[in-house]
Amino acid sequence: MPALWRRCFSILFSSILVSSLLLSGGRTTLSAASDLPAAHSSSTIVRYEDAILQGYGVEKLAAPQDGDSLYDGEGYVSFFYDFDPASSQPDGTATFKVEAAAAGLYALSLGYYIPEGYGAKEAGIRVNGTDVGGITLDAPPASTVVHEKMVSKIALNAGTNEVTFTRGWGYYGIEYVRIEPAGLPFASSTIEAEDGLMSGEVSLGSAVEGFSGSGYAAFKSSGSLTLSYNAAERGLVELTIGYSAPYGDKKTQLTVNGQASEVSLPSTSSYAEATGGKVMMNKGTNTIRFDSGWGWYNIDYVKLSPASASNQHQVENKLVNANATVETKALMRYFVDHYGRNILSGQQTLEDAQWIKDQTGKYPAIFSTDLIDYSPSRVEHGAASTEVDKAIQWAKEGGIVALVWHWNAPAGLYDTAGKEWWRGFYTDSTSFDVQYALSHPDSEDYRLLLRDIDAIADQLKRLQDARVPVLWRPLHEAEGGWFWWGAKGPEPAKQLYRLMYDRLTNTHRLNNLIWVWNSESPDWYPGDDVVDMVSVDIYNPAGNYGPSIAKYDSLVNLVQDKKLVALPENGPIPDPEQLQTYAAHWLFFSTWTGDFIRDGKYNTMEHIQKVYSSDYVITRDELPDDLYTSFRYEAEKGTMTGLTVSTAGSGYSGDGYVTGFDEDGNTLAMTVNVPVSGRYTLSIRYKAQGDKTNPVLLNDETLADYVFKNSDAWTDGVVGEYELQAGNPTLRIGKSWGWIDVDFAELQYLGPILPKAVVSYSSANPTNQDVIAQLTANKPVTITNNGGSNRYVFKQNGSFTFTYIDADGHTGSVTATVTNIDKTPPSFSVTADRTVLQTPNHALVPINLQWTAHDADSGVAGVQLASVTSSEPDNGSGDGDKDQDIQDAKIGTADAQIKLRAERSGKGNGRVYTITYKAFDHAGNQTTASVLVTVPHGSKS
């Protein structure tokens, strides 16, 4: 929010502050400039008396201010005065001339004086005529009035430099400035091999001409060379090796501060350079050692130069919401990949974004807008908004969306002249007490807080449903106090932020938000567990295009360089060249609306053209088409076995590429983060010397023996499409045919795993039972027919189709067809070659049997003799007293011949033998058939 919008609040605040200053009381004593710290061996101090003053108001003083009894220093440059718009002179400045031994980045510290009760102050700074940005002078510790603070990094030229301070807020004094080197010098540092310690078969050589210095280290089959390097600060450097290898390709073992790697030295009879990759140098002494490796080569020198600063950041590609959508995770990965390499352009309001396109031919990458008119207390007054619709359309056109919420107070709007209802987000326009509301969760005010958050959740849900991730920056500028959410200090503001995070994330399941906190003060920071990115709003004076390095470094220190740092509101746009010079790695800027972008003063047209044409600035047309679906994994960040990182040539991404794959066992392993379970395309960017087939594995399971086609240019090769589960598997590229270079691997999200279902049921064997078909899916689905059941009972042969839908709305169907139900028994009949035994002569008579069985469904499985019975018992009365009347009847077999005795009782009506067979089919159905054989009573032997 620009300062102009806060003017009313600031005037009120200033009045209160002046009153409090006039009431300041007793003090204790503390020495100041007389006890000035001695300059470190690497630092330079310039005192107040050497400052050059210009303009009105500024002066050199020794006396304390406003009756202060604590100050007893020798003196200071006084900025204890108010801005005078009527003065014919410019506002006062103080210039300190400082000497720098070499061009580079330096840490600038100030010794300053602020009386008790005056609070923190802001000042402006210019270096050699160029605005650098604002600096913050913290209030000195309790009971003190002087303090030293490292306020900014500045870029100095070798020799004399001018560091100029402008008044800013005023009411402070500067006792001295201190500068000391902030990192490695801009120029490269070269260490000659002959200055190192040589051991074993390594000796000083000079026979091969063309070396630098006075000689080189000649390696044979064993030994080592050890070099020392004293670094001014800890930092990442590029290590380059000057060498010659007249006896063919060689490899050396390089160890830097205990971290070993193998470096290839391609064959060359003259002197050449090979990269040793990026290495971390500690502040102070560092050890660089070469062990012989393959031997028979020469090391001439080692050159160290500052590496790409982006690699020094410790930002992890991880969102605080583990359930973030795939689009949100993809955007976060893009941010992390580009942090420190580029700055993304941004603009508040779609109308101003279009104006930029009209002037420059390019849209900003980020469209920032406000949910202000979705606030319920504004809706109640007739406000309406289409900003969410604009944001959805912007994302469809390939851009990034950022949202802020000027939250109109839920209640207590004064709605009087100068404090109208539409100004209800200002502290001075509402009586709403956030501290009271939060400390009384049963109150109406607390309920209204939740009501408002829920109303905004509805709008954010529209964006989530449209698959739009959002840079979400609620409760911005809280520490200023001019908005009601910050009016009661840091604790209520942090509590409200955490309440909002919990309600939006856990109650409303909003997983499309990247949470941006907007303050550099540690006291106001709500915690790492609810913040993805930190930021501050900066409105430098018109035309001040400085990098605001002090603010940037303050944010980096706040989060220990573990989170992204952004500039979500600015007046003048930071100059891209200064951003790179100062390593002020703001992830993005977003210029405020109206005059701040269009008036030609805050940002001249020349400056806007420069920014939007800079290679360092990303515009919307430069965002990738797969911004919300791509996950890239740089090869050089993987684990290498027998491989090296190279920066030769151009066109690669990241900090280099992996080369080698020329020996058995050479392997590149990359841990890939699969953000959500889904379908992905895996591709690898590579170059190959001829067609090369190498294995590609995921968690040691082969995905493909992929053919890397011959290519001198970087080529994107699609390995295949795969269904992957969320997690962190290891992708490996091994060596088979070898000789490839790998830049990166990339997963392209295609969509969720589609539902697939199978129906299991018994179909292999005939059955005379009901068949139960059961559906099983690869993911949770809802059955949309069959009463929602995944079981269907077949009582007869036929087909049934299950239909289903998953949580993403994908539908499917699967059909079960049953043909093996057979509940009908076979048709069956039995005949015998003799059915009447006319002569009861007590003889055993063979009976031959035949049958006919048929089953049209499952077929006849078999026939068995079930039983042979007689209507009269053995040895019946008057039958001749013979037993075992039934013989050779093999029950349970397909016995087709039995013996029956021709015998009957003399007192009966004749004897009847019943021969019964059963036939059964393959389904288990069975039927019986019988034939009768009689011995008539009237027959005689």
Active-site residue flag, 477: yes
Helix (H) or strand (E) holding 453: helix 444-465
CA 713-715-717 angle, 5° bins: 160
Structure tokens at 215: 């000689």
Nearest to 747 by CA among 675, 651, 657, 640: 675
CA distances from 316 to 58, 281, 313, 533, 817 (A): 46, 21, 9, 11, 53
Structure tokens at 234: 């800890």
> Rounded to whole angstroms, how far apart are CA atoms 352 and 369?
11
Helix (H) or strand (E) holding 104: strand 104-113
> What are the φ/ψ torsions at residue 297 (nearest 5 degrees)?
-150, 175
Residue 331: DSSP 8-state: H
Structure tokens at 144: 């003190």
Q: How many CA atoms lie within 13 A of 127 on its CB side?
A: 29
Helix, coil or strand: residue 723: strand
Among the options 180, 238, 327, 569, which is catalytic?
569
Residues ≥6 apart with Cβ < 8 Å to 616: 342, 343, 576, 577, 579, 580
> Rounded to whole angstroms, how far apart are CA atoms 368 and 347?
6
> Rounded to whole angstroms, how far apart are CA atoms 792 and 652?
57
CA distances from 778 to 613, 755, 759 (A): 50, 6, 12
Fill in the amino acid letter for 44: T
Helix, coil or strand: residue 799: strand
Residues ≥6 apart with Cβ < 8 Å to 635: 654, 657, 658, 668, 670, 742, 743, 744, 745
Q: How many CA atoms lie within 13 A of 883 on its CB side?
A: 0
Residue 285, beta-bridge partner list: 230
Helix, coil or strand: residue 447: helix
Number of C-beta neighbours around residue 758 at 10 A:
11
> Rounded to whole angstroms, how far apart are CA atoms 830 and 621?
90
> Rounded to whole angstroms, how far apart are CA atoms 688 and 710?
5
> Rounded to whole angstroms, how far apart are CA atoms 449 and 386?
23
Number of C-beta neighbours around residue 384 at 10 A:
8
Structure tokens at 664: 């058995």
Number of C-beta neighbours around residue 404 at 10 A:
25
> Rounded to whole angstroms, how far apart are CA atoms 628 and 327?
4
Among the options 477, 520, 746, 872, which is catalytic?
477
Q: Are 21 and 66 in contact (CB under 8 A)?
A: yes
Q: Environment class of residue 232 by beta-carbon count within 10 Å: exposed (0-12), middle (13-18) or buried (19+)?
A: middle
Active-site residue flag, 569: yes
Fill in the amino acid letter for 514: I
CA distances from 67 to 22, 169, 923 (A): 9, 21, 110
Residue that the structure tokens 């959500």 belong to: 676
Helix (H) or strand (E) holding 521: none
Residues annotated as catalytic (active site), given as ranges: 477, 569
